[in-house]
Structure 1
């Protein structure tokens, strides 16, 4: 057993003669990582205004293609990691497996905090974007309507309430919105395949929609000016293309509905990630956050915490939407940081001969000193090149995510992501030395083999 991974409850898993071969493929995947399968496996299988300003329609097309290729490359690497270790912990768990001994716990801990903070910000920003989009649809239909910040906050609350309802009371319907890696059947194969196929298909469909959008763009200045009163210029394009407020409103509401479904999934991902990090004692009050509802195995405490954070963040809207946007920008830099660390460490391991062994479904335990590929990966030189490209792409995005979108810069245009990201990173480092290093030993082994 790897000495870096600590046994929390030796003998606590049933040991009445049941062997590794008596479990399902998914249970064996978790057992290989030292995790008990406790979550129920019941789940089956917009155009940027900034791009238009900077490069016009051609800039939008080339920007889309670059981002599509970069995203596909990045998530192909993450899919390889998900195949190796299909856990809800994701990035911090992968870092704990891949990092060198001298920095394993610290890097994993910081990555966990970056992922945790990023997902919390994603939840708030997703609900906020849908709320403001709904306001834009109302303005388009009712021209005398004046959107107010408090109304955007209430719309955010409504979207969040629906998401909480689906994640708790109507949890059986969650399968239609979201799948977590520990709750999906044959996760080590299905998750990577689903990620890559979805990016390819959505990229193709998105590009077709983008071309249609640009052909219907009309007067570029009028489209850009519409942002001042609609908030989202694509609503103006809908209106211009259909010549009907009702038709444009229906198209806008379709996007609202899709966004609400996305928020449901984001809340599920955020709460599961928090529960996983709590299970490994990475945050304060981890004993409470790791608990599951006794009858439904729902992480009710982490769902409540994530919803509460979004509610508290939404109060900032009453003072300044700019301040709120700068806080939720943490979703970008936080998650990109965790992706970059994970992809870089996998590339480092890849470049070491025989550092990662071939896939073996009968292997008992996968850990830092016993790395094995999952059943899904890109082999050889092609895998190395793709991994390297993903690292370069992520670093470029991460670097420019801290810069303001335009010059000259004033308080309204300033990007304060460096402040919010720096605060989270500083707090995580301080807490690590105050309490974290005493409790966090990396992903905890819950069973003994």
Structure 2
């Protein structure tokens, strides 16, 4: 790194022609890594800075034989903002998950539920941003639990949190790829209504294809991922207007009272308030994933400052665009029964078709959403592989040594990436037998990640309640932190309960939400494995953490 970068380097003594490699980051990054007992392994950007013989402390681009190869973390503020914003894809997810709100709440209820979900979940993101500033590490929640939980329960709680994060992020990849595949099938259905016949295996093959493409991006283009994410952020912002403006201009005008004054219980719960709470899964699905950037922490320059700022600005950007989109969409829905029963299987595609009156325009708008959702899948794969790699290096998984390997050329955890591809491909096969079971597995991801938030924030709140020390945070809520943590826990508990509710009160084997059974089964297997094997090898990251400095 040259003097122009403003980074101080400790130049190694070298003989002519000798090259030294130092994986850097800022001085604070190195301090944070040293505190949690880890060395830099993951993806960094390298380039040569040749030494100035007159002043070896100042690297200079010359033709001298003595040289120093310096490496710098890849992600900056804008690239990590793009990474998180596109992965969360809030305004896009508002459209993809609109069936939840339309069924439970109707037009007005969908808006009020989103506002309530955004207000409550904001506290969660703020709490996690502060924890990310305290300990910016790829482990994320399971590391925080290991470091902040009461000593007697540190290992077990951290182990459970690591497992549910692995579960949540892998189902997240499956969900993103499935959404792209299902949307593509919907586009084909409106373009070839008389010749195309849907078969479940079509979606399964498309899911696998999307997962493979995302893996390729995260391997061969790993060094360019920050640039790609920055470009995608621009598409994410301009794409918002590309969808919004046609809906504003072309949709029939309806009275505001018809939208804001309409709360409907189409789920048969017998109470509008309860119906809206059941429908809260929609907006929370749109706001999920603030911890995605956390798992990229070891690739972010000046992580303890940039990481929380990226999370907060993602909340501002995505939260506001999501609110505008949900209000616009509510005005454009028209007949709810018609859009819910659309032959495309996707309510928003029918809304586009009704608004524009053109199959071509609808196809263009929908393809834009598909591209952005695929970009979200790329970010999702990156996050999942880092979380899996981090948990494996702490020996939290079977075959941990295999999954914890970082490829020397690509500087990414290739084995973890390939494992994610295999897991997602196996999950997609379930769709051939039962799309209901596959949808239940995807909704399971929401519950899994929510449970990791609950455990980690509760551990910090208990530590504050007991007046026990916490690591210093460069981004902190100060005296409001305990209040924010308390509200976060209460909000998460409510959302977590309603995550397991079915879409309607009348259920059978095909409409039941089976995620509670799967979630309970995974936790049971996790605890059983810990008791028999895991506790012998897993001690948690806390065993490496150095004494905290106040």
| Number of the residue aligned with 1:136 | 186
C-alpha contact (below 8 Å) 2:35/2:546 kept by paired residues: no
TM-fit CA distance, 1:161: 1.3
Residue aligned with 1:431, SS: helix
| 1:74 matched to 2:124 | yes
Distance 2:117 2:463 in 1: 26
Displacement after TM superposition at 1:210 (Å): 1.8
Select which of 15, 39, 42 maps to 2:74.
42
Q: Is the Cα–Cα contact under 8 Å of residues 136 and 297 in structure 2 kept in the other structure?
A: yes
- Partners of 1:217 and 1:123 in 2: how far apart? 29
Report 1:285-364 matches (<5 A). 285-353=399-467, 355-356=468-469
1:109 and 2:159 equivalent? Answer: yes
1:245 match: 359
Q: Give the deviation of 1:249 after TM superposition.
A: 0.8
Structure 1: how far apart are the matches of 2:345 and 2:225? Answer: 31
Contact 1:166–1:173 (Cα < 8 Å) also in 2: no
Q: Does structure 1 conserve the Cα–Cα contact (< 8 Å) formed by 2:76 and 2:306? A: no
Structure 2 gaps of 5+ residues are 1-11, 13-23, 45-72, 78-93, 230-291
**CA displacement at 1:445 relative to structure 2:** 5.8
- The answer for the alignment partner of 1:387 in structure 2 is 485
The TM-score, its normalising length taken from structure 2, stands at: 0.72
Distance 1:403 1:219 in 2: 25
Match of 1:376 in 2: 475
- 8 Å contact kept, 1:36–1:446: no
Give distance in 2, aligned partners of 1:404 and 1:242: 33
- Give me the whole-angstrom Cα distance separating, in 1, the residues matched to 2:408 and 2:545: 21
TM-score by length of 1: 0.88
User: Is 1:51 the equivalent of 2:167?
Assistant: no
Residue pairs, 1:212-291, within 5 angstroms: 212-226=328-342, 229-291=343-405
- 2:297 counterpart of 1:199: no
Measured at CA, do residues 291 and 345 of structure 1 come closer, stay the same or move farther in structure 2, by a change above 3 Å? same
CA distance in structure 1 between the aligned counterparts of 2:39 and 2:545, rounded to whole angstroms:
7
Distance 1:285 1:375 in 2: 36
Corresponding residue SS for 2:75: coil
Query: What are the within-5 Å matches in structure 2 for residues 62-211 of structure 1?
Result: 62-144=112-194, 145-175=196-226, 176-177=228-229, 180-211=296-327
Unaligned runs of 5+ in 1: 1-13, 15-20, 357-370
Distance 1:404 1:110 in 2: 25
RCO higher in 1 or 2 (8 Å CA, sep ≥ 6)? Answer: 1
Shift of 1:446: 6.3
Q: Please give the per-residue CA displacement for 1:343-389, whole angstroms capped at 9, x wherever unaligned.
A: 11111122233x23xxxxxxxxxxxxxx3231011111x22222111
Shift of 1:101: 0.9
Q: Deviations over 1:400-445 (max 9, x none)?
A: 2222221221011111111111111111111111111110011166
Find out whether 1:409 has 2:441 as its counterpart.
no
Aligned to 2:274: none
Residues 136, 303 of structure 2: 8 Å contact kept:
yes
C-alpha distance in 2 between matches for 1:401 and 1:216: 27
Deviation at residue 119 of structure 1 after TM alignment: 1.1
Q: Distance in 1 between matches of 2:172 and 2:459?
A: 25
Take 1:221 and 1:277, find their aligned partners in 2: how far apart are those partners?
Answer: 46
Contact 2:220 2:410 in 1 (8 A): no
Moved more, 264-273 or 165-174: 165-174
Which residue does 1:360 correspond to in 2? none
Q: Which has the larger radius of gyration?
A: 2
User: Mean alpha-carbon deviation: is it higher for 266-275 or for 439-448?
Assistant: 439-448
Structure-2 separation of matches of 1:303 and 1:280: 17
Q: Alpha-carbon deviation of 1:273?
A: 0.2
Give the distance between the partners of 2:33 and 2:325, measured in 1 at CA.
Answer: 40
After TM superposition, give the deviation of residue 315 of structure 1 in Å: 1.0
Query: 1 CA distance for matches of 2:127 and 2:394?
Result: 24
TM-superposed CA distance for 1:325, in Å, is 1.4
Contact 1:120-1:309 at 8 Å conserved across structures: yes
How many matched pairs?
A: 412
Segments ≥4 residues shifted beyond 3 Å: 444-449
